[in-house]
Structure 1
Amino acid sequence: MKQYLNGRWVALSILLALLAGFSIPFNTWSYSEFFALMGRRQPNRVWPEIFAIAGIVILFALIEYAYQRALNRNVAIFNQKVREHLLTADFIQTNQAGVADRLSYLTNDLTVVENNYLRQIFNIIRSVVTVVVTLAFALRSNFGLTLIFIAFASITPFTPKLLAKKTAHRAQQWSARVGRYMTFMADVLKNADTVLHYSALGFFLAKGRSIIGQSVTAQRRRDNTVAASNLVATVVAYVCMYLPIGFGVMMVVRGQLTIAAFVAVQYASNWIVNTFLVIAQSRNQMNATRPMLAKLAAFKALPANLLRLDQPTDRLGQFTALNLAAVTFAYADDAAQPILQTINLRVHQGEKVLLTGPSGAGKSTLISLLTGMRQPTSGTVQFQTAAGKAFAPDPTMFATVLQESNIFNDTLRFNLTLGRHFSSAAIQAALQKAGLAAYAADHGLDNLIAESGNNLSGGERKRIELARAFLYNRRFLVVDEGTASLDPATAAAIQQILLTAPMTVVEIDHHIAPDLSRRFDAHYALNAGQLTRVTA
C-alpha cells in the first residue's frame, strides 16, 4: 500500500487523527466538569469555563474538518496512483472475456478498498488515541472502577476474529459474482442487435435472472456476514458496558465514590466501549478487503521501456530471417500433451507467409511464439542478421492485425499516433498506403471515433490498424484472421495492401481463396501440432 500513498499527506493525516482523538476525552472531561461546577457552588467560575469549553469544542470541530480533508486527499492520491499502476501493469493484458472482470475491479473492488481499508487505518489510529486518553482520565477519577471497565472492555476487540475468515470468503464470492454479471452485461450490450433480431431476449432474461440472482445473493450473504459479525461485537460490547456500571452504582450507594467521579468514569466507559466497538468494526471491514488487496498485489508492472515517450526506435532493424528451429510448446500443467511439436519455420525478410489450419490446431499459439509473447518449451525462436548475429523476438518489434480490431474511442489522429508526435507528411503517407486517405480527407484527422470503432465499417477499422503499422514503420506484420469478418470485396482490398506492403507479413487465415493463397511466397498448414509446407 505504501507505494500508492504520499508520505507527507499520510503524516499530516496521522497528526490530525491524533489531535481529533482528543475530542472525545475532552467531551468526557467537560461533561464531568459540569457536575463538579454544580458541587463547588462558585457562580463566578461558571461562565468563563462554559465559554472556554465551547471555544475548545469549536477548535476540535475545525480539527475534524481538516482531518476529513486530509483523509480525502489520501484517498484521492491512492485512487490516482493505484489506477496509474494498473494502467502500466499486466492488469491491462487480458482477453475480451476478462474486460468486464477488470472493469468490475476498478468500479467495485477499489471502492471497497478505499472505504473499508484505507479510511479505517486512520480511524483506528484516532480511536486508539481516544481510548488511551479517555482511559487515563477515567483512571484518575477512580482507579479501581476503571480497572473493572478495562477488564470488560478488553474483550471486545477480539470478537471480529470469530467471523473474519467467513467475512473474507463472502467478500471473495461477491467479487467473483459481480465480475460474472459484468461479463454477461458486456455481452448483452455489445451484441444486443443479435439478441433482438433472433428474438432471444427471453432466453437472455432467464440466463440473466440467474446471474443477477447469484450476484445479489452473494452481496446479501456478504453483508449478512458482516452484520452478524457486527452483531456479535455489539452484544459483547454492551454486556461489557452495563456490568461495570452496576459495580459503580453500588460504590456510590455505599459512599465509596462521589457522583461526579462516577459520572466521569461512567461517561468515559461509554466512550471507551463504543470506541473499542469502532475499532472492532473497522478491523472487520478491513478483513473483508483482503481478497481485493491480494488481487491488487498480484498485478505486476510492465517493463519500463514500454513507458518511453520519445520516438520509438526500430528495435528490429535489418534482419535476414526469423527462424524457428525444432520448436515444441506445451502448457506447464499439461506437459504430456504438446500443442506444437518440432516446428521448423524460416521466414525471410520481405516474405509474405500464409498459415492455415483448422480451429484449435495451434495457429495462434505459434504466432505468440513467433512474436516472443510466449517462450517455447524446447527449441529456439530467433531473428538472424546478415552478419551472423542472432537475437530473440520481442512483441514491440511487430505490428498486429487481429479479427477484433484495436480501435480507441478518440480521434482518428490518436488512433494512428497513439499520442506520439508524427509529422503531417508521415501521417498522410501512412494513410495513403493503407487506402485511408479519402476517409481522412472527408472526415478529418480530428474526427472522433466511437467506442470499438462502431461508427466505422469493418474495412475502415482494418485500414486504421494498417496505417498505424505503416506510421510506426513496423517491419514485421502479423495478421490473425484479420479479414475474416469482412465482405469479399473489402477482404480482397485489404489482402492486396498486405501482399504489396514493404514489410514481412505472416498471416493466419481459415478461408482464403486458392487463387489468393498462391500469391503468398510460402504457404504452410498446421494440423495436430505439425507444420507442413503446402505446394501449389
Structure 2
Amino acid sequence: MKLKDNLKWLPKTLIAMIIVAMVVASFDGVALSMIVSNVTKFNQHSTNKEVFIYISLSILGMFLVYLAMVLKEYLKNRALKIMNIHLKRDYIYEQVQISKVKDDASSKISKIFNDFKLVETDYFTLIFELIGSLLTSVVSAVYILILNVPIGLLFILFSTLPMVTPKVFGAKLTATAQIWQNDSGRFLSKVTDLFKGINSIRTYRAQKEMYDDTISYLNTEEIAYEKMNNSQVEAMFLTIMLSMISFLLPLGAGLFFVANGYISAAVVIGIFLASDRVVGPLRSSSQYLNQMKTTENIRKDLREQVIQFKDEAPLDPNAEPELDLVNVSFSYGPNKQILKDVTLKIPFGSKLLISGSSGKGKTTFLNLIQGFLTPTVGDIEIAKKRVSSDGSNALAYIRQEPYLFDDTIRFNLTLGKTFTDEECLAILQRVGLVAELGPDLLDQTYGENGNSISGGQRQRIEIARALLFNKKIILLDEATSSLDENLTHQIRKIIWSLPCTVIEVAHQYDQQELQDNQVLHYQLDGGTMKAIL
C-alpha cells in the first residue's frame, strides 16, 4: 500500500487545513532567528516604545506559530483516526471475505493489535512529521538565502549530509524489522498455546517444560527487538555526526567572511539560528525515513478494499433442496488423495452419519460441501446450483467445539441480524434451553466462548442458530464427541427430528439407534463411501 492510497482516505478539507497549519508552524525557526538576530539593532539610543513594539510583535508572531503547531497536532490526530479505521476496516473485511478454514486466528489478531500499531506510530504518524520537517527546512532555507546567498548555500548544501543515512542503513533496518515481526508472531502463538492449553499442561505436570519453551521464544523475540532498536541507534548516531559536520563547517566559513568584512555578525547569527531548522528537520526526516522502512514488509501486502457485502436472497421457507455430489475427488497434493470419485444423491430431509478412522477425510468431506475447499475433480450441487467458495446460504456447520461470542444469547443467535424475541425464544424452547437457562436468557451473557454453560448447551445454541436462520442442510463435525452418553443421545434426538437434511461426522455411534431413527450410515475409507446396512 502506497502513500497516495493512504492520503486518499482523508477528506480534502482536512488535508488542506493540515497543510496550512504545517506551513505556519514551519516558520518556527525563522521567527526565532529574526527575533534574536534583530536584537543587535537595539542600542542606547533605542526608545522604550520601540522595545515594547518589538517584544509585542515577537510574542504575537511566536504565538501564531505555536498555535499552528497545536492545531496541526489536533488535525493530525483526526487524520490518524481516519487512517487507522480505514486500515483495520479493510483488513477485517478482507479476512471476513477470504479467510480459509485453516487460517491462524492468532496471527491475524497479532497483525491488528501489534503490526498495525507499528504502522500507526512508524508510518502514518511519521508521514505528517516528515512533511512538517521538510516544510520547516524549505522555509528556513529560503530565509537563509535571503540573508546571504553564498553562506546560505553552503549551509543548505551541507545540511543534506544526514540524508545519507537511509542509503547506508535502509536494508539493515528492513531486515531486522522483518526478523522481529516473525519472532514476535511466533512468541504470540506460543503464549496463546500456553494459556489455552494450561489444563493439559497441569494435568501432565509439564509446567516447567512448557514455561521454558515459551521463555525461549520470549528471549528470541526480545533479542530480535533489541537488534532492531540497535540498528536504529546506529543509524541515529551516523545522522547526528553528519548533522554536526553540516553546521559547524559552514559556521566556520561564515566567521571568515565576518573577519574579512564581507558580512555582519548579525547575518551569521541569523543564518546559524535558522540553519538549525534546516539541519535539524532534515536529520529528523532521515530518521523518519529509516523508521518508515521498518513497516515496509507489513504494508506491502495491504490492499485497498471496496466494502461491499452481497445481499443474500432470503431462503424460501418451503424449499427442499437436494444435495448432489457428482464424481467428486479431492487431494492434498499428489500423494494424499482423500476422496476418489464419490457420487451421492442426498434427498432433502435425509439423515446421514459418516464414520471412519481419523485422517480418512471426514472433516474434509464436510468442508467440501460447505465450500471451504474446492473439489479437485467433480461437482457439488445444492438445488442444482454448484457450491462456490462462499458456500451456500442453505448450509449450517456445527463443529465439535462451537464458538460462542462474548455477548448475549440474543446476539449469538441472530449474529446482528433482525429477528424478533418471540422467534428466538420459540427456537430456544424447541432445543430445551429455556427450561434450563430461564425465560430471560436472551439478555444473558455466559462469558468468553460460553465458558459458564455446558458443552451440550453450547451445541444446542449452535443448533438453535441454524434453525432460526432456516438452514436446510446442517453439517455436524464430531458435534457430540466431547459430550457424555446422555447428552449425546439428547443432542442426536434433537438433530434427527429436525425438518432438514442432517449430515453428521462421528466416531462414536449406536448402530441400532441409527436404524431406529432411519439414519443412513456411510463409512469413509480409502477415498470411497461405503453404505453400512
Matched, 1:404 2:401: yes
Residues 358 and 19 of structure 1, relative CA distance in 2, 3 Å threshold:
farther
Q: 1:464: how far off?
A: 0.5
Asked if 1:46 is matched to 2:51, the reply is yes
Structure 2 counterpart of 1:200, from 206, 221, 243: 206
Q: Which digits, 9 at most, give the CA deviation of each residue in 1:97-128, with x for residues without a partner?
A: 72222222222111111111111111122112
CA distance in 2, matches of 1:409, 1:46: 68
Q: Partners of 1:239 and 1:264 in 2: how far apart? A: 19
Counterpart amino acid of residue 505 in structure 2: I
Secondary structure at 1:483 match in 2: coil
Partners of 2:458 and 2:64 in 1: CA distance: 62
- How far apart are the structure 2 equivalents of 1:212 and 1:96? 25
Q: What is the one-letter code of the residue matched to 2:210? A: F
Q: Distance in 2 between matches of 1:236 and 1:245?
A: 14
1:522 aligned to which of 516, 520, 523:
520
CA distance in 1, matches of 2:514, 2:235: 67
2:230 is matched with which residue?
A: 224
Match of 1:364 in 2: 363
1:71/1:458 Cα in 2 relative to 1: closer, same or farther (>3 Å)? same
Contact 2:170 2:290 in 1 (8 A): yes
Amino acid in structure 2 at the alignment position of 1:339:
I
Alpha carbons 2:317, 2:470 under 8 Å: kept: no
Task: Please say which of residues 451-460 and 156-165 is displaced more in the overlay.
Answer: 156-165
Note the C-alpha offset of 1:315.
6.9
CA distance in 2 between partners of 1:296 and 1:254 (Å):
59
| Shift of residue 255, structure 1, vs aligned partner | 1.8
The answer on 1:492 being equivalent to 2:489 is yes
Instruction: Pick the aligned partner of 2:16 from 1, 11, 18.
Output: 11
Partner of 2:27: 22
CA apart distance, 1:330? 3.4
Question: Is 1:277 matched with 2:272?
Answer: no
Q: 1:189 to 1:78 in 2, by over 3 A?
A: same
Distance 1:167 1:350 in 2: 61
SS in 2 for 1:305: coil
Which one of the candidate residues 183, 186, 190 is aligned to 2:196? 190
Tell me the residue number matched to 2:372. 373
1:39/1:505 Cα in 2 relative to 1: closer, same or farther (>3 Å)?
farther
Q: Distance in 2 between matches of 1:100 and 1:305?
A: 27
Residue 447 and residue 485 in structure 1: after superposition, are their counterparts in 2 closer, same or farther (change >3 A)?
Answer: same
* CA shift for structure 1 position 194: 2.9
**Shift in Å at residue 365 of structure 1?**
2.0
In the alignment, is residue 457 of structure 1 matched against residue 463 of structure 2?
no
Superposed CA offset, 1:300-321 (max 9, x none): 6786127x8xxx7117972452
Measured at CA, do residues 28 and 447 of structure 1 come closer, stay the same or move farther in structure 2, by a change above 3 Å? same
TM-score (norm 2): 0.92
- Residue 289 (1) aligns with residue 290 (2): no
Partner of 1:125: 131
* AA aligned opposite 2:502: V
1:56 equivalenced with 2:54 (yes/no): no
CA distance in 1, matches of 2:484, 2:102: 23
Cα distance 1:300–1:487, how it changes in 2: closer, same or farther (>3 A)?
A: farther
Residue matched to 1:344 = 343
Does the CA-based 8 Å contact 2:162-2:239 persist in structure 1?
yes
The Cα shift of 1:287 comes to 0.8
User: Mind listing any 5+ residue stretches in structure 2 that lack a counterpart?
Assistant: 1-5
The offset of 1:454, in angstroms, is: 0.7
Cα distance 1:290–1:392, how it changes in 2: closer, same or farther (>3 A)?
A: same
Quote the RMSD (CA, aligned, Å): 2.4
Distance 1:328 1:40 in 2: 101
Contact 1:522 1:533 (8 Å CA) reproduced: no
- 1:250 CA drift (Å): 1.6
Cα displacement (A) at 1:337: 4.4
5+ residue gaps in structure 1?
none
1:6–1:77: 8 Å Cα contact kept in structure 2? no
Does residue 105 (structure 1) correspond to residue 111 (structure 2)? The answer is: yes
Quote the Cα distance in structure 2 between the aligned partners of 1:514 and 1:321: 25
Shift in alpha-carbon separation, 1:317–1:366, aligned structure 2, 3 A: farther
Cα distance in 2 for residues equivalent to 1:4 and 1:375: 36
Letter in 2 for 1:159: T
* Counterpart AA for 2:146: R
Q: CA separation of 1:508/1:234 partners in 2, compared to 1, >3 Å: closer, same or farther?
A: same
In 1, the alpha carbon distance for the partners of 2:316 and 2:299 equals 37
- Inter-CA distance 153–448: structure 2 relative to 1 (3 Å threshold): same
- C-alpha separation in 1, matches of 2:392 and 2:446: 26
The answer to whether the 8 A contact 2:101-2:372 is kept is no
Judged with a 3 Å threshold, the aligned counterparts in structure 2 of structure 1 residues 381 and 163 are, in CA distance, closer, same or farther, namely same
Q: What residue is the counterpart of 2:77 in the other structure?
A: 72
2:379–2:386 Cα contact (<8 Å) kept: no
Within 5 Å, which residues of 2 pair with 1:92-491? 93=99, 98-297=104-303, 304-305=309-310, 313-314=314-315, 318-331=319-332, 334-335=333-334, 337-384=336-383, 390-392=385-387, 394-441=391-438, 444-491=441-488
Q: What is the CA deviation profile of residues 178-219 of structure 1, one whole-angstrom value per residue up to 9, with x for unaligned ones?
A: 222222222222232332333221111111110111111121
The one-letter code matched in structure 1 to 2:381 is: Q
Instruction: Output the CA distance in 2 between the equivalents of 1:70 and 1:178.
Output: 32
Deviation at 1:270, TM superposition (A): 2.0
Cα shift at 1:271: 1.9
State the shift of 1:460 in Å. Answer: 0.6
In 2: Cα distance, 1:463 partner to 1:335 partner: 40
Deviation (angstroms), 1:83: 3.0
Determine what percentage of the aligned residue pairs are the same residue: 27
Cα offset, 1:162, TM superposition: 1.7
- Aligned counterparts of 2:513 and 2:92: Cα–Cα separation in 1: 41
2 CA distance for matches of 1:175 and 1:374? 30
2:3 matched residue in structure 1 = none
For 2:302, what is the secondary structure of its paired residue? helix
Q: CA deviation at 1:150?
A: 1.8
Number of equivalences: 524
Q: Secondary structure of 1:502's match?
A: coil
The 2-side partners of 1:511 and 1:303 are apart by 43
2:324–2:382 Cα contact (<8 Å) kept = yes
Q: 2: distance between equivalents of 1:166 and 1:391?
A: 50
Contact 2:522 2:531 (C-alpha < 8 Å) held by counterparts: yes
Alpha-carbon distance change, 101 to 3 in structure 1, aligned in 2, over 3 angstroms: farther
Task: Name which of structure 1's ranges 228-237 and 216-225 shifts more when overlaid on structure 2.
Answer: 228-237
Deviations 1:423-463 (A, max 9, x none): 23311221122221213426522111200111010001001
Q: Distance in 2 between matches of 1:265 and 1:409?
A: 62
Whether the 8 Å contact between 1:160 and 1:233 is mirrored in structure 2 is no
1-structure distance, mates of 2:376, 2:102: 26
CA contact (8 A) 1:349 1:503 kept: yes
